[in-house]
Chain A
Amino acid sequence: MAGGAIKQTDVHAVAGATIFREARLLDSGEWADWVAMYSEDAVYWVPGWLDEYTTTNDPDTQVSLLYHDARRGLEERIARIESRKSITALPLPRTVHQISNLEASETGPDEITCHSVFSVHVYDPRVAKEHLRHGRYAHTLRREGDTWKIARKVITLVNDRVPTVLDFYSI
């Protein structure tokens, strides 16, 4: 490891702190703090599935479930919900994110790549129905000054026949 590089234990600690904090902010609806974890040019990508085995790999020529190439796209989604005009948020489902199998490695100067798996339990108090979204996260974290920002998040949604609504809080 080159001089000045962070240690592997620190890499894992940074990754865990970031990803678990993100999950907590999503579940508690603290979305201003959540979106502030992303860099302004962050890519937020949920690929679609081409067949039983393969996800889309090029957002410019294939359709994704969600694709934002800047934090602004997430901010629009937040504003839509907070406007109290979108019926998808009246009422808003309650969620619990569970994340495990975390691996993290230093993949460049001031860059950490993390892989993890998630289950998000989604409960809709309107109809007392619940469902579970599950899949894999790949986060790319980048150091900006004193803080680590999420520069890229790829969410591979395993169960992609989605009931009714899919939004940033349910994956």
Chain B
Amino acid sequence: MTSTSENPRLALDPHVDLGGGGVAATAAAPSRRRRPQGNGGWRMRLEIAALAGPALVVFVLFVIFPVILAAYYGFFSWAGYGPATDFVGLRNYVTILQDPTFIEALKHNVMIAVLSLVVQGPIAIGLALLLNRKMRGQSVIRVLIFVPYVISEVAVGLGWSLMLQSGGAANGLLEKVGLGDLRQDWLSNPSLAIWSLLVIITWKYVGFAVILFLAGLQGIPEELSEAASIDGASYWQVQRLIVLPLLGPTIRIWAFLSIIGSFQLFDLVYIIWGQYIASTAGTSTMATYMVVNGRNAGSYGYGNAVAVVMFLISLGIALLYQRFLLRRDTQGAISGDKI
């Protein structure tokens, strides 16, 4: 912490006179890169180190390094204390992949990922287009749409589990409007529980998608839509032919975040179904499996192996996604520096 709090001050000091290199080429135009003269070269390197260093150090130490740690401990049967000595090779991995509970959990993750995209995507695009229009009370509506996203998973989980439990408000409401026959055990009926979970997930996270899409919409020059509507395009034609294609990169990035989030889903399931009944209700995920069979069972070696499996699955998805969809969007940013 001390090093990270010192560096910004050093880097942000407006009175540091660096002279030298002046404006080096920006990322956007690598072809016009100017060779920095004199001591500008090392000054620039110093600036780069001072500015990017703190973020890199924290990131590598707490994001990258734990994955390496997990890969190491995954080969051991280890209770979490003292040095890991009981090397078991790939046995943890064999156990995981042969465990039907894990396979079930993985299936739930896949289902949640697919349905989140299919359900949340269209709703969020519609909402973002709606909120992008000028209308009375717009700012109030924007705030309200985001309310579920702002509320903690714990509060959401508690509230929804009280509403959906068999004696809860959902069934109470059905009874009141004369649909008492539709009363269900929304949370523990294995054929319903995952759908309840999906409703809650949609309710909770659609606001995040809307925020991203709204930001994307703001980046689309208004002149384009104006020109099109002067040429006689209807509102919907403008949205479909101009706005949506330009929103493409934002949608692809959201979809990526949503898929990855679905594969890491933990909080809501663990809070609503607890550590014991998630698998019987059919809502367990890889992450709840990891926590239940790793930390809670005192098998840290095994838990780390599950983490590695989750990581590899996410990595595989990310690489595929990057290969087929995302490349176009990040291309400009990354390939700008082909040396």
Q: A and B, one complex?
A: no
